[in-house]
Amino acid sequence: MKFYSISTPKHQVSFRTAVIEGLAPDRSLYFPKYIPKLDPSHLDNTSNRSFEDLAFDALWPFVEADLSRNELVDVLEKTLHFDLPLVTVGEYLSLELYHGPTLAFKDIGARFMAECLGLFNQKAQKTKKTVVLVATSGDTGGAVASGFLGVENVEVVILYPNGKISEVQELQMTTFHENIRAIAVDGSFDDCQRMVKQAFVDVELKSAIDLTSANSINVARWLPQMLYYLKTFHQLRESGEQRDIVVSVPSGNFGNLCAGLLTQQMGIPFKRFIASTNVNDTVVRYLNGADYIPKATIGTLANAMDVSDPSNFIRIQTLFREGELRKLLCGYSFTDSQTLEAIAYIDQHYGYCAEPHGAIAYLGLERDQLNTEKELGIFLETAHPIKFAAAVEQALNRTLEEPESIKALRLKTPETEQLSTYEDLKAVLLSY
**Amino acid in the structure at residue 198:** Q
Q: Residue 432: which of 208, 215, 213 has the closest Cα? A: 208
> In terms of C-beta density within 10 A (0-12 exposed, 13-18 middle, 19 or more buried), how is residue 283 classed?
buried
In degrees, rounded to 5, the angle at the alpha carbon of residue 305 between the alpha carbons of residues 275 and 356 is 90
**Amino acid in the structure at residue 276:** S
CB-based contact 331:274 (threshold 8 Å): yes
How does DSSP assign 179-224, residue by residue? Answer: TEEEEEESS-HHHHHHHHHHHHT-HHHHHHSEEEE-STTSHHHHGG
- Percent helix, strand and coil across the chain, each to the nearest 5: 45, 15, 35
φ and ψ at residue 241, rounded to 5 degrees = -70, 125
Residues in the chain: 432
Which of 33, 106, 197, 407 is catalytic? The answer is 106
Q: How far apart are CA 223 and CA 72, in angstroms?
A: 14
Active site residue 374: no
Q: How far apart are CA 186 and CA 192, in angstroms?
A: 9
Find all residues with CB under 8 Å of 346, minimum gap 6, and list them: 89, 90, 352, 353, 354, 359, 362
Find all residues with CB under 8 Å of 370, minimum gap 6, and list them: 91, 246, 377
Find all residues with CB under 8 Å of 242, minimum gap 6, and list them: none
**What residues are labeled active site?**
106
